[in-house]
Structure 1
Amino acid sequence: MIPFSLLDLAPIGESQSTSQAIVNSRILAKAAEKAGYKRYWLAEHHGMRAIASSATAVMLAQAGMATESIRIGSGGIMLPNHAPLMVAEQFGTLAEMFPNRVDLGLGRAPGTDPKTSQALRRPTMDVVEGYPADVELLMSYLSDSPGDVLAIPGSGTKVPLWLLGSSLYSAQLSAAFGLPYAYASHFAPDFLTQALSMYRNKFKPSHQMGQPYAMAGVAVVIGETNEQAQYLFSSAKQQFLNLRRGLNEAFPKPDANLEEHASETELMMVDRTLRYSLVGDKASVAHQLSQFIRLTQVDEIMITIPVYDMEKRLDVLNQFAAIAADLDLD
């Protein structure tokens, strides 16, 4: 059995409060630990009505306090939004609070719209171009030999870094730095196999890792029947339709008549974007999971659960854990 982990997008559902979304994340972290998930990660997004994890390090602190052993981390921190020193201090603090449990996944996209990116007070274009240098600087702040500028907390914590990506760029950079690599196939499927192959072929050992380690993301929705699963999955489809249409909306309730509210072209776009989603009853999801692992040969799977109702979200979390534990890839 390969390890399985959880990316929580801290969804704020329509007719739900932000405070409830934050409580739900704490509940989900505890449930993931109990079900045997290896990691619980949160992602940095800004200005999005559907996501409550903009203050990612703060949210991870609540997850750490609610759990005992599961690794907690970012999937990811969007480094162009921040001075590397600030990130080192935040995750160094988490590492001191929760020793040997913290991961720091990094991305180079702003995770928001241009106006909000500007409001974050970082000159995005220049910083994106300087992303590799910022990654190196961040690594130095967390090392035993940080130089003249100290991250306190942070220095000497050696928080393990991951690079996240949805293109070939991050695959090459992860390989060059000798870092673990997480591919965002749950929303950016096009370069999945090519990026993984490039990462493995170009990998150079580092102080952190001697060999490549690749993770890939998939959305998972499990229902009692395939039809019920597709109904629950309609929330995710609506969310991507909203993004496509430039609408900033809360995470939507399921819609049994989605085809009536979207064009055939829009639905084809959504299906293409979400094609590495595992949706169906338990038997169907188990089959889809085995196919995905055989396709990618990944070392770890990270799932998202784009389900509106919290009780159903928890049910999917537990059912997937059972599927992963019983999976036979021989």
Structure 2
Amino acid sequence: MPLSVLDLVPVREGADAGEALRASTALARMAEDTGYKRFWVAEHHAMDGIAGGATSVVLAHIGNATSSIRIGSGGIMLPNHTPFQIAEQFGTLDALFPDRVDLGLGRAPGADGSLQRALRKDLRGAAENFPQDVVELRALLTGDIDLPIRATPGLGANIEMWMLGSSLFGAQLAAQLGLPYAFASHFAPDHLDAALAVYRRDFRPSEALEKPHVMAAMTVMAAETDEEARYLASSQQQSFVRLRTGSPGKLPPPIRDYEETLPDPARRMLQHLGQASAVGAPATVRERIDAFVARTGADEIVCAGSTFDPEARERSLRLTMEALAA
């Protein structure tokens, strides 16, 4: 079972974006040395606690600091950009790091009105044009459709394109285009089973992919004991609660027995998200991942989950890989 890493480049309280980027680079090196297959960075904007907004720039730095692990976007929110811009950016990454670049694409712009104005984009209209933009982007990279312009770098780049999703829409589009599919079950598990069923049922083989290929995201936090892992995971839990209640910020330090301090609605929300999580000692993590793979039939698992102490995330990923390899 290939394991990969999804990183938000988290900015912790009392620190800045520079530290976050250095920590993510160190994490990528460790993931490569430990045997993880991919290191993906997610695009978020105007959030004090996330420093991965300029995703292709971050990936260039991480690619330069590593030598073999695949690097990619989990994902690029295509409505925020033009297909031509992304073809150039990821074509450049492929020229710098041949045969190592993944391009995961998402439809949700994740933007309010102020960000829409800052990007000079009609994001609602761009989201509606998402399927056409994906087809155009693929054509700019592969040349499978004759376009009046070519991206240089870009055309002919050996990039692995992925469709990301948390609903049936992404599953249907991935199946129609014959792309591998990554489901964001770590924060939106509601439609997981239905989306994977639709994707596998409707999949059409393409030049890029002969049969369906699924990667599912899990929140993974391993430590020496279950109690210590739950403690470390509380930073991520606090971030989820703050985001859902409209007060996002930098990644906070962990709190012991954090869930016990919460009102019932917040506690139920975290428990619901927990169906796609593996938090605990190595044996617990292995058991939870095995059960999740048995449920989903996933071909790969991508491990999400931020820690206040960057070294704790590195240790978590080492323990997880050791547990699954045992």
Contact 1:305 1:316 in 2 (8 A): no
Structure 1 residue 255, shift from structure 2 partner: 1.1
TM-score by length of 2: 0.97
Q: Deviations over 1:124-170 (max 9, x none)?
A: 11111110000000001001355211111101114221000000110
Amino acid at match of 1:132: P
- 2:318 and 2:273 map into 1 onto residues whose CA distance is 25
Q: Is the 8 A contact 1:142 1:155 kept in 2?
A: yes
Residues 239 and 248 in structure 2, CA contact (< 8 A), matched pair in contact too? no
* Local SS of the residue matching 2:169: helix
1:18 aligned partner: 17
Question: Could you say what secondary structure the match of 1:205 adopts?
Answer: coil
Question: C-alpha distance in 2, partners of 1:6/1:265?
Answer: 30
Deviation at 1:257, TM superposition (A): 4.9
5 Å matches for 1:289-304? Answer: 289-304=289-304
Residue number in structure 1 paired with 2:269: 269
Is 1:160 matched up with 2:189? Answer: no
- Which segment drifts farther, 108-117 or 88-97? 108-117
Deviates further, 234-243 or 144-153: 144-153
Cα deviation, 1:71-90, whole Å, max 9, x if unaligned, reads 10000000000011000000
Deviates more, 1:31-40 or 1:144-153: 144-153
CA drift of 1:30 comes to: 0.6
- The match for 2:81 is 82
C-alpha separation in 2, matches of 1:98 and 1:89: 14
Q: Counterparts of 1:268 and 1:117 in 2: how far apart (Å)?
A: 32
Closer, same or farther in 2 for the Cα pair 1:259/1:40, shift >3 Å? closer
* SS state at 2:44 partner: coil
Q: How large is the Cα RMSD of the aligned pairs?
A: 1.2
Q: CA deviation at 1:206?
A: 0.7
Give the aligned residue type for 1:221.
M
Q: Secondary structure at the match of 1:75?
A: strand
Distance 1:258 1:56 in 2: 32
Give how far 1:228 is off.
1.3
The offset of 1:53, in angstroms, is 0.3
- Measured at CA, do residues 171 and 281 of structure 1 come closer, stay the same or move farther in structure 2, by a change above 3 Å? same
In 1, Cα distance between equivalents of 2:190 and 2:88: 35
More displaced 10-residue stretch of structure 1: 189-198 or 114-123: 114-123
Cα deviation for residue 261 of structure 1 reads 4.7
1:213-255 Cα distance to aligned partner (Å, 9 max, x none): 1100001111221111111111111101101111121011101
Name whichever of 76-85 and 187-196 sits farther off: 187-196
Counterpart position of 2:245: 245
The alpha-carbon distance between structure 1 residues 129 and 226, as it changes in their structure 2 partners (threshold 3 A), is same
Letter in 2 for 1:116: L
Shifted more, 75-84 versus 112-121: the winner is 112-121
Q: What are the superposed Cα offsets for residues 6-43 of structure 1, whole Å, 9 maximum, x if unpaired?
A: 11111101111110000011101111100000101000
Question: Match for residue 124 of structure 2?
Answer: 125
CA contact (8 A) 1:181 1:215 kept: yes
What are the ranges of 5 or more consecutive residues in structure 2 without an aligned counterpart?
none
Structure 1 gap segments, 5+ residues each: none
Counterparts in 2 of 1:205 and 1:253: CA distance versus 1, 3 Å: same
TM-score when scaled to structure 1? 0.96
What is the alpha-carbon distance in structure 1 between the residues aligned to residue 249 and residue 262 of structure 2?
16
Conservation of the 8 A alpha-carbon contact between 1:282 and 1:323: yes
Q: CA separation in 2, counterparts of 1:158 and 1:222? A: 34
Look up the match of 1:212. 212
Tell me which amino acid in the other structure corresponds to 1:72.
I
Q: Report sequence identity in percent.
A: 46
| 1:8 aligned partner | 7
* In 1: Cα distance, 2:251 partner to 2:113 partner: 22
- 8 Å Cα contact 1:220/1:306 also seen in 2: no
Partner secondary structure for residue 275 of structure 1: helix
Change (3 A) 1:208 1:254: same
Q: Distance in 1 between matches of 2:11 and 2:136?
A: 34
What is the alpha-carbon distance in structure 2 between the residues aligned to residue 133 and residue 120 of structure 1? 20
| One-letter amino acid of the structure 2 residue matched with residue 211 of structure 1 | K
Match of 1:134 in 2: 133
Q: CA deviation at 1:258?
A: 2.6
8 Å CA contact retained: 1:118, 1:124: no
Deviations 1:56-96 (A, max 9, x none): 00000011101111110000000000011000000000000
1:184 aligns with 2:184: yes
Tell me if the contact between 1:186 and 1:218 (Cα under 8 Å) persists in the aligned partners. yes
Query: Within 2, Cα distance between the matches of 1:157 and 1:16?
Result: 37
Alignment match, 1:70: 69
Counterpart amino acid of 2:108?
Answer: A
CA distance in 2, matches of 1:291, 1:255: 28
SS in 1 for 2:275: coil
**Corresponding letter in the other structure for 1:236:** Q
Which amino acid is 1:271 matched to? Q
Determine the C-alpha separation between the residues in 1 that align with 2:297 and 2:260. 38
Distance (whole Å) between structure 1 residues aligned to residue 3 and residue 116 of structure 2: 32
Q: 2:112, 2:318 → 1: CA distance?
A: 34
